[in-house]
């Protein structure tokens, strides 16, 4: 597998600096953030390491040159909006930009775009399924046409009261994935698998590796720590950040040895990108870089 | 402690038959259901073993005579509506009937009424807290005036899509109880504690026994079985009946030995009433009576 | 469910005494042993509470009258030989007697016969599968014709060096059951499920309750205790009695609460018969009767 | 095995009442307390159901007659002082009375006396070993001469600051037992085994059942509940009652199914006497009798 | 955090050699031992990397120059005697030297001194609390005046018969810490936290990280392995080295990932110093240096 | 300890290349495979890094020179045939070659040969014990004469149907080792201990480290992952690869921290050689070299 990181944690660095850092630290690849310039609606969002709105052949050439120079690959382009936001106009803005990211991926020869399917968080899964299909069937077809695979991250996007009750991404569980892939069975439609979300949802993150092995296009290495004392106080009906904490790999409840053990047996040989969302490591650029360095060192035990 | 049962599981029996059955099987007490006649809005609701709307001194005398005859006590009067239903008119109906139940408890010399605080399931806890206080401050005062204690069951009333997302009862966790009892600190306001709801909420059901020992007025003995395989498939964000099953005591995940161990150490000496909501035991009256018999036999190991 | 016992543990009692004991102790039913008279080839074998070789209408009438008198039912007729013994002549003797048991079951109106499929213990499963089919296709057809269901106990019949390496019964695991029921899909062909054998085989005994719910015709309540210190010394490749001990229900590793919990959810409502093979309880008839009494008392907590 | 109880919990009843209660509830036997009249130095001590100081042939006849009448046996005579108390004069008083208990056992034909070896709690084990031998070699010889077996309870007698640091009984662990039985290898010198003390000492209570099976003369069925939260606060160096609670069988951490499973396999067939030291059940004679009744009902699941 | 080590494990190296080693291996800091020259009363004691008795401005300059040269910081000065030794004269010697260490810390601009509060091991905690206050109130005031924080290590100093029964340091548990910090509430009085002592005391080492986060001034990274088989034989009343073994981080029962996870969330950003007391790694200087190297490599996974 | 690897995973490299790789990656030693040239009967067999059939003084000089040049030691010579194969002629070929390996070890001054005792897989242990003694008494004597220690790997050599039922190596468990070392008590006869085989045999791999510490001559670092879902389906009577997967250290169920913790306490200071049999890492030479690199990095956490 290729060990990399998600560039969202380095918003203060230019693309070239990101790649130089990756190279210096021994990362194989980076997932580059492609938010529209100027938008920063929530924590970890709004970072633009590739400005897909303006990317042309020349820009793509420049990016490829930088990659060559630094000996680092792009694992995927990342953009994580809510394409099923209740306001259709807002949702359309996300869909349009997602298409731009897809085109950029083709232009760069990357072949992988990571995102969310989104969710109208005020509605049940069933109630919005027709809309999910309406939005995503054309999007997946669009990706197919551009020879790009879409990896949906399995993040519920439900952390605090802002996203209550339903969260902002439908693709949270094997039960829902089966429905997704049955209704939109394209080989371009798959997962950006992050085991940490399964931990706080109290789900086994190993079984899906086998069942969905043909669908796992990309992997995020994030970790979380469940705090039983806090959970005892509020229960699973509380908003999830009331009872767990996102942490670096090795500082949470994911058993990474077990994870890489089963993942390697499925034949997966793609990117595994560290995603830092550990508030204890976010005080400064230096601290965030340390977080990436420490995470890589830890994961090298298993990959 | 006094072992009893919740009469809702015997809707086909008249009060006298309920008491005769309790006596024959060795139960010490019964929690009698007091729904308004003719209403049966959901499973286990709508049972009327005491018609509080019409109960007068003579009626109360008759009930007391039956209790004496059969050597069985009333552990409490039970009525579990949603006094915070979104529709204020509907909520008022519940509040009015709850007052009637309180008056009946006084008339019968029982001193204990069990219910829910209710919840507007479309809103967050914070959003409806002012309404909770408006509704419940007068109700608790009313109970105080009638020398009746109110035991709020800690059931989230969130099982399937019908109650999504918030459920129909706010009083689900120690964190919320603290807030309730701080804002309405009446000695007449307490809990009807059911450990089973803590199991599927992934909470410790022993710690609260100590912290809230002065608030535990009544106990329900229900059990549930968490099914890890089902949970692995849907996660804790699914509706709860997708991953657990209500069962008889001894057939679920509650450690009853541990539960009675800590409960006895807190000095609790009140009623513990079996609540049957196990679908495998509901096929016939005989089967439901067997469920009560089996549950009592099991619990007698520990109390 | 109906709680009963396997009559093999009371070889010193006549049928009538067995039924009287069952009635006195509160058992609902008994699985009656039907070995040919005079044969006693191994521990717990060779008991004849119904002599099927000589049973005729009159004999059957007598049996039915005794059952009525004592208010006890027959859960099934039991005969557990090795119909796939390496010596074809020996195997044929078993097959012939098994047919007699099937006829007797029809005559008695019981409808249930429990047995083993047997195994040539010197051969792999694959190597003897054709012979298994040759032997069992006609046997199952014969049972169908006589309106009798056959319940195969999932006992590996591998305990000591005598049955090494393969044991004397093929039907040991879900993987093999699937193959059995695919190749012989008759509704008369099912299981006499005993969870204890799954414990020492280190298998989950709950999952199969769901998958094979249509095949579970009869249940044995036996328990075993795995002794980790002994297992540490010899490992799973040793003969199984080197690392475990058959025990009464409640004295082993089966979680009977959990077992009955899932079993009841599958809709199973048939017999659950205590099978005593606990050497600490076999010193005298009194001790063996005590074993049955204690087992029933224990199981009544859960059924 | 024979299920009984320790009579210390019924100080308000006369011997005959104790036996009548035992019979009515279905106990097989009772361990009768034989403290000197008038002494009551600590909780659960000072009870005199047989006054050994004055017992003569006629008295013994009367006791035996009562036993016959009520169909109850004496499992042993019990007297639990500190024969190694720092003050030699005090220790001698205990030794002398212990001899009287031994003589009484012979007179009654009981053959079993239960006690402690005692300990000078201010000294290490090594420092007082010579004194232990000096005291106990003659005592064990005395018991041998009177055809009486001595069962030493494995209670550390260290619960609160009063017995700090060493407790008042040396015989607390397998390591010490081996030394005891090596240095005083008499067949009259053995154990009154109580698994509960092993729980709070964080020791396995099953392994010694096998190693010391020839030494287990008598068994106490007491239970304790370790409270992890309390232990987290004070640690194992605190006095033990700071982190655990004595409870009835079934309300603590002893796995009684497992205990009786291994015990029955060792061939033990002697008395198992419920010892009630659960403060939640001590408020009244009725409550203490209920404790015995409940404990017996619970243990009958396993014996 | 800053990873360092305790210099006691390198008694054969001069200060400069210690710092050169630290630098070469990538340690950020060292806790320097400051025992009086020539004293070596117990294992790991008696090491003098800074001779505080003779340290003057010039000496301090030299030390600071060496630190600069080698790019290594002092995490604290360490001196671990028993200031509450039963002999008041002996205790006074320790107190006097501790004051010298405090002055040296100020002189070096270190601000951190690590030690024990000590204990009269023959007395209970309560019995010596007045003396603790008499000794420590002035000592803490002295530290405040010198702008030095005192970190008390939570080591019970109870390992073998020599320190029986009470050990040589009172500050062993959260319960005692609360009492200490209530009675001496100075901001200069805190902890040198070592999770390993909590493991063998069977206590949670994570909860105190949160409760005492303002008091954790310094951290020791030592590990221990509990040996259940040995504990089964002797129980928690034995001297602790009878049932556990001090080991390097990663070779014991501390979950370092979990430890650093919670520690980082508390905002702790101070030193974490490896303390080697693993006898398997003490055979030679080379071996002990290997122990430090291996421990650092292991801990870098998590910090 | 010395960390090395088993050369069987690098069949495509010449001896010198193997040593160069070992040196470049920081390995201390290598176990060199010594199969006869041209034989490759099963996976991981048939590799010849030292051709013992032709090795003479000059050849040995050359090997030693290469070792010096690359700063790498030979941990042992390895050859793992079945010297108890049912066909005596075949077995003799193995025995003869084993003697050649022993002679080569002496010539090279290595002193350590690793192998299997073999097994006639169609027979029980008892049935072939006399033949085991006949074969191995002379072999061990031969090793003694050549000043070579033989380390028997504890691999059952039972993975798939080919080795059913008994596997191809008797030395699988402590119970059998005791018998081996009692019957052939030579100091030249010991173990090449691999903890992974104990995992899938459901045995404790720590206890034997203590009991057999004088017999552990060499250690293999391989790991395996038990897959509970697969085991649930087939049980322990299936062939072992149906329920487990060989994996790199860190990707399986061995707790390497615990393993090295106890191993270091036994005083073991010999070689620990990574043995790669993880199919996910065998696709290319580069991948297999990566497997060795990753395993070493992981193990360096603990040694």
pLDDT tens figures, D272-289: 999 999 999 999 999 999
Determine the Cα–Cα distance for residues E46 and E38; give it in Å rounded to an integer: 7
- Provide the pLDDT for residue B40: 61
Any D CB within 8 A of B279 CB: no
Determine the Cα–Cα distance for residues B157 and B167; give it in Å rounded to an integer: 5
- Residues in D closer than 8 angstroms to E167, CB to CB, are 237
Owner of token pair 């030292």: F50
What is the residue-wise DSSP string for A136-155? HHHHHHHHHHTT-EEEEE--
Any F CB within 8 A of C23 CB: no
Determine the Cα–Cα distance for residues C178 and A241; give it in Å rounded to an integer: 44
Question: For residue B39, is pLDDT > 80?
Answer: no
- Residues in C closer than 8 angstroms to F207, CB to CB, are 232
CA R_g for chain F: 18
Would you call A301 and E301 a contact, using CB atoms and an 8 Å cutoff? yes
Interface chains of chain C (3 or more CB pairs under 8 Å): B, D, F
Determine the Cα–Cα distance for residues E65 and A106; give it in Å rounded to an integer: 58
Interacting residues of D78 by C-beta distance below 8 A, sequence separation 6+: D6, D7, D8, D31, D32, D33, D34, D113, D114, D115
- Provide the pLDDT for residue B46: 85
Instruction: Identify which of E297, E296, E302 has the alpha carbon closest to the alpha carbon of residue E29.
Output: E296
Determine the Cα–Cα distance for residues B27 and B13; give it in Å rounded to an integer: 16
Would you call A232 and B203 a contact, using CB atoms and an 8 Å cutoff? yes
For the beta carbon of residue B80, count every other beta carbon within 10 angstroms. 25
B97 neighbors B116 (Cβ within 8 angstroms): no
Tokens of F91: 């077995």
Tokens of C35: 């070995």
E203 neighbors E175 (Cβ within 8 angstroms): no
SS3 B152: strand
Instruction: Give the tens place of pLDDT for each residue, D215-229.
Output: 999 999 999 999 999
Nearest CA distance, A297 vs chain E (angstrom): 6
Alpha helices in chain B (DSSP H): 15-25, 57-70, 88-108, 125-145, 174-183, 196-200, 207-211, 228-234, 256-265, 285-299
Any D CB within 8 A of E126 CB: yes
Any F CB within 8 A of C161 CB: yes
Owner of token pair 């710092």: E19
| Cα-based distances in Å from B302 to B61, C15, C301 | 34, 38, 12
Determine the Cα–Cα distance for residues C93 and C114; give it in Å rounded to an integer: 17
Determine the Cα–Cα distance for residues A55 and C92; give it in Å rounded to an integer: 82
Instruction: Identify which of E125, E119, E218 has the alpha carbon closest to the alpha carbon of residue E178.
Output: E125
Tokens of F58: 């000059």
Question: For residue C205, is pLDDT > 90?
Answer: yes
Instruction: Identify which of B161, B222, B239, B199 has the alpha carbon closest to the alpha carbon of residue B9.
Output: B222
Question: For residue B180, is pLDDT > 90?
Answer: yes
E42 neighbors E115 (Cβ within 8 angstroms): no
* Phi-psi label, residue D123: left if phi above 0, alpha if psi -120 to 50, beta otherwise: beta
Would you call B161 and A232 a contact, using CB atoms and an 8 Å cutoff? no
Total residues belonging to chain D? 303
Instruction: Identify which of D13, A229, F295, E225 has the alpha carbon closest to the alpha carbon of residue D22.
Output: D13
Determine the Cα–Cα distance for residues D36 and B251; give it in Å rounded to an integer: 49
Instruction: Give the tens place of pLDDT for each residue, C106-128.
Output: 999 999 999 999 999 999 999 99
Instruction: Identify which of E224, E151, E161, E135 has the alpha carbon closest to the alpha carbon of residue E187.
Output: E151
Pairing verdict, β A2-6 and A29-33:
parallel
Determine the Cα–Cα distance for residues B36 and B79; give it in Å rounded to an integer: 9
Would you call F264 and E281 a contact, using CB atoms and an 8 Å cutoff? yes
Instruction: Identify which of C177, C95, C110 has the alpha carbon closest to the alpha carbon of residue C141.
Output: C95
Partner residue opposite E252 with nearest CB, options F261, F267, F300: F261
F18 neighbors F9 (Cβ within 8 angstroms): no
Any D CB within 8 A of E133 CB: no
What is the residue-wise DSSP string for C20-84? HHHHHHT-SEEEEEBPPTT---STT---BSS-TTT--HHHHHHHHHHHHHHT-EEEEEE----TT
Calculate the CA dihedral of residues D256, C225, C303, B254 and round it to 10 degrees.
60
SS3 B35: coil
Nearest CA distance, D293 vs chain B (angstrom): 10
Would you call A261 and F247 a contact, using CB atoms and an 8 Å cutoff? yes
- Provide the pLDDT for residue D159: 92
Strand partners, F216: F191
Owner of token pair 């409806």: B128
> Which ipTM value was assigned to this complex?
0.96
Determine the Cα–Cα distance for residues D213 and D207; give it in Å rounded to an integer: 10
Q: Is the dihedral of CA A130, A131, A137, A138 positive or negative?
A: positive
Q: Is the dihedral of CA F228, F229, F234, F240 positive or negative?
A: negative
- Provide the pLDDT for residue D38: 78
Question: For residue B98, is pLDDT > 80?
Answer: yes
Question: For residue E39, is pLDDT > 90?
Answer: no
Nearest CA distance, D255 vs chain C (angstrom): 10
Total residues belonging to chain F? 303
- Provide the pLDDT for residue D41: 62
Any E CB within 8 A of D124 CB: yes
Instruction: Give the tens place of pLDDT for each residue, C163-174.
Output: 999 999 999 999
Element spanning D285, H or E: helix D285-299
Nearest CA distance, E189 vs chain F (angstrom): 35
Least confident of B99-108, C177-186, D44-53: D44-53
Would you call D280 and B301 a contact, using CB atoms and an 8 Å cutoff? no
Nearest CA distance, F229 vs chain C (angstrom): 9
Would you call C280 and D264 a contact, using CB atoms and an 8 Å cutoff? yes
Interacting residues of C292 by C-beta distance below 8 A, sequence separation 6+: C5, C9, C21, C25, C27, C274, C276
Instruction: Give the tens place of pLDDT for each residue, C129-142.
Output: 999 999 999 999 99
Q: Residue A75, preceding bond cis, omega within 30 degrees?
A: no
Determine the Cα–Cα distance for residues A239 and B175; give it in Å rounded to an integer: 13
Chain F nearest-CA residue for E279: F265
Instruction: Give the tens place of pLDDT for each residue, F12-42.
Output: 999 999 999 999 999 999 999 999 997 566 6
Interacting residues of F22 by C-beta distance below 8 A, sequence separation 6+: F4, F5, F29, F30, F70, F72
Q: What is the pTM of this model?
A: 0.97
Nearest CA distance, F224 vs chain E (angstrom): 20
Determine the Cα–Cα distance for residues E20 and E3; give it in Å rounded to an integer: 15
Would you call C233 and F173 a contact, using CB atoms and an 8 Å cutoff? yes
Determine the Cα–Cα distance for residues D46 and D42; give it in Å rounded to an integer: 8
C230 neighbors C242 (Cβ within 8 angstroms): yes
**HSE of A267 in the Cβ direction (CA atoms, 13 Å)?**
6
A–B interface: beta-carbon pairs under 8 A: 77
Interface test with F, best of C205, C236, C253 (most F CBs within 10 A): C236
Instruction: Give the tens place of pLDDT for each residue, E136-195.
Output: 999 999 999 999 999 999 999 999 999 999 999 999 999 999 999 999 999 999 999 999
Chain B nearest-CA residue for C206: B227
- Provide the pLDDT for residue A45: 76
Instruction: Give the tens place of pLDDT for each residue, D48-89.
Output: 999 999 999 999 999 999 999 999 999 999 999 999 999 999
- Burial of residue A71 (CB within 10 Å: 0-12, 13-18, 19+) is exposed
Would you call F251 and A264 a contact, using CB atoms and an 8 Å cutoff? yes
Any E CB within 8 A of D195 CB: no
Instruction: Give the tens place of pLDDT for each residue, A110-148.
Output: 999 999 999 999 999 999 999 999 999 999 999 999 999
F297 neighbors A300 (Cβ within 8 angstroms): yes
Euclidean distance between the first and final Cα of chain D, in Å? 7
Instruction: Give the tens place of pLDDT for each residue, B263-280.
Output: 999 999 999 999 999 999
Interface test with F, best of A259, A265, A268 (most F CBs within 10 A): A265
Any D CB within 8 A of B262 CB: yes
D292 neighbors D274 (Cβ within 8 angstroms): yes
Instruction: Give the tens place of pLDDT for each residue, E135-146.
Output: 999 999 999 999
- Residues in B closer than 8 angstroms to C300, CB to CB, are 294, 297
Partner residue opposite D280 with nearest CB, options B258, B264, B301: B264
Q: How does residue A42 score in pLDDT terms, banded at 50, 70 and 90? A: low
Chain B nearest-CA residue for A204: B232
Any C CB within 8 A of F234 CB: yes
- Provide the pLDDT for residue A40: 61
Strands of chain A, DSSP E: 2-6, 29-33, 73-78, 112-115, 149-153, 189-193, 216-221, 223-226, 244-247, 271-274
Any D CB within 8 A of B122 CB: no
Nearest CA distance, C264 vs chain F (angstrom): 21
- Provide the pLDDT for residue D44: 72
Question: For residue C40, is pLDDT > 70?
Answer: no
| CA-angle at E95, arms to E92 and E97, nearest 5° | 110
Strand partners, C31: C6, C76
Partner residue opposite F250 with nearest CB, options A262, A267, A301: A301
In chain F, what percentage of residues exceed pLDDT 90?
97
Would you call D257 and C278 a contact, using CB atoms and an 8 Å cutoff? no
Determine the Cα–Cα distance for residues F302 and B147; give it in Å rounded to an integer: 67
Interface test with E, best of D170, D197, D236 (most E CBs within 10 A): D236
- Burial of residue F57 (CB within 10 Å: 0-12, 13-18, 19+) is exposed
Phi, psi of D178 (to 5 degrees): -55, -40
Strand partners, F34: F48
E27 neighbors E4 (Cβ within 8 angstroms): yes
Question: For residue F83, is pLDDT > 70?
Answer: yes
């Amino acid at each position: 597998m290729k060990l990399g990181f998600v560039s969202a944690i380095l918003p203060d660095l230019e693309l070239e600096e990101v790649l130089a850092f990756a190279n210096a630290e021994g990362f194989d690849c980076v997932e580059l953030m492609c938010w529209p310039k100027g938008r920063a609606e929530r924590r970890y969002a709004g970072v633009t390491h590739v400005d897909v709105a303006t990317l042309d052949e020349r820009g793509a050439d420049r990016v490829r040159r930088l990659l060559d120079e630094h000996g680092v690959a792009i694992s995927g382009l990342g953009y994580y909006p809510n394409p099923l936001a209740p306001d259709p106009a807002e949702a359309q803005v996300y869909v349009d930009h997602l298409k731009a990211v897809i085109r950029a991926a083709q232009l760069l020869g990357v072949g992988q775009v990571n995102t969310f399917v989104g969710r109208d968080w005020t509605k049940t899964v069933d109630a919005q399924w027709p809309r999910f299909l309406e939005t995503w069937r054309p999007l997946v077809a669009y990706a197919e046409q551009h020879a790009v695979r879409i990896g949906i991250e399995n993040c519920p996007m439900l952390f605090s009261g802002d996203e209550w009750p339903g969260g902002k991404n439908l693709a949270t569980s094997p039960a829902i994935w089966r429905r997704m892939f049955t209704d939109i069975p394209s080989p371009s439609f798959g997962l950006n698998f992050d085991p940490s979300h399964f931990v706080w949802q109290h789900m086994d993150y190993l079984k899906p590796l086998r069942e969905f092995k043909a669908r796992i296009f990309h992997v995020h290495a994030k970790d979380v720590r469940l705090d039983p004392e806090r959970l005892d106080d509020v229960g699973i009906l509380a908003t999830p950040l009331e009872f767990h904490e996102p942490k670096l790999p090795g500082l949470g409840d994911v058993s990474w040895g077990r994870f890489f053990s089963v993942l390697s047996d499925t034949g997966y040989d793609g990117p595994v990108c560290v995603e830092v969302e550990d508030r204890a490591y976010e005080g400064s650029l230096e601290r965030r870089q340390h977080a990436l360095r420490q995470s890589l060192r830890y994961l090298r035990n298993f990959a």
